[in-house]
Structure 1
Amino acid sequence: MSMSPSARTRMRSTEKDKYHYYNDMGKSKGHCTWGAGILAHRGVCTTEELGQAVSAKMVGLEFERRVLEAERAVRRNVTVELNQEQFDALCSLTYNAGPTGALKTYSYVNRNDFSGAAGNISKMIKVRIIEGGKARYVVAPGLIKRRAEESAPFRLDESSKAKK
């Protein structure tokens, strides 16, 4: 199974293209990111990185590479049958949170606990930032809508099972 073209398009529109490096939570906060929400590394960008431009071609190629990586991670970690919407949602989650960040959700899915998976996805709206040398977790507003969309296919599956 591969991520559907419509899900790729939706995710690409969520991950706004930026042709430079930036800190994903604002000035001197979050993680160094570039392109279509592509993590360069954890922690803020250096001054040199902030001045580094990237091309549209580089963004497109890296986006596609990371989507393929997310698909492989979902196929490798999920052992139950998924419908297309569920696979797409897990690929989106994995693209954003990484395979390690998605492990708990995979675990719920593998136990056929789709309600638990939906609940876990919905809770994944905070990111770790370091301010003044201290780490703390803050809600990332952009993740609220994204997590609602990613959890929806697992909520729909539960409601349809309940009707049977």
Structure 2
Amino acid sequence: MSQNSFKTQADNSEMKMSASAKTRMRQRESAQYRYYDDGGRGLGNCTWGIGTLAHRGPCTAEELARPVSATQVEITFSAKLAEAERTVRKRVSKQVLTQDQFDALVSFTFNAGPRGAESALAYADKGDFKATARAISRTIYMTVQTRKGARRVVARGLIPRRAEESGPFRFPDQ
């Protein structure tokens, strides 16, 4: 049997997000000890803590008045981060990632969710890093509710974040 007959298995199984990437992510997300609409009052999705989605659509008046403890924020952040790390390790099993690439995919998966990160993770698993960068870079939209219904708009704050997350895939040798 030739070597090519065996499925290649990369070992990203022990990877964790680096401390510096966690720090950058926490600064970018900024902890909020309350519920808020991520697109501005009455727009976007109801969010709390460190980028934790409560539900799609704006927060209710009751949610906006509800405080969130620092303990809740930290526990949820750690759990969501661990979930994003597991998702990246599971879905990128054929390509060995650098620490910067792993950090970028975890940050992206944390923010976009496992489903929102599917295409970028699939491209990374195939080793198509240019397509990975494109998939990350085009995930800059959010849905906002208007009087006339829902509308997709560019979330301007995501543009620099996606540039940072796609960087290790645009220039993988650097």
TM-score higher than 0.5: yes
CA–CA separation in structure 1 for the residues paired with 2:112 and 2:30: 16
1:123-142 equivalent positions in 2, closer than 5 A: 123-142=138-157
TM-score of the superposed pair, with normalisation by structure 1 = 0.93
Corresponding residue for 2:123?
108
Compute the TM-score of the two structures, normalised by the length of structure 2: 0.88
What residue is the counterpart of 2:50 in the other structure?
36
2:65 counterpart letter in structure 1: G
Of all paired residues, the percent bearing the same amino acid is: 52
The residue number in structure 1 matching 2:159 is: 144
Q: Which amino acid aligns with 1:110?
A: D
- Residue 168 (structure 2) aligned to one of 128, 134, 153: 153
Q: CA deviation at 1:133?
A: 4.8
Letter in 2 for 1:131: T
Question: Which structure 1 residue ranges, 5 or more long, are not aligned?
Answer: none
Q: Name the Cα RMSD after superposition.
A: 1.2
Q: Distance in 2 between matches of 1:121 and 1:130?
A: 24
Q: How many residue pairs are counted as aligned between the two chains?
A: 159
Amino acid aligned to 1:148: A
Q: Deviations over 1:111-150 (max 9, x none)?
A: 2110111111111111111212511111111101100000
Structure 2, unpaired ranges of 5+: 1-14
Given the alignment, which residue of 62, 69, 73 partners 1:55? 69
Q: Which residue of 2 aligns with 1:7?
A: 21
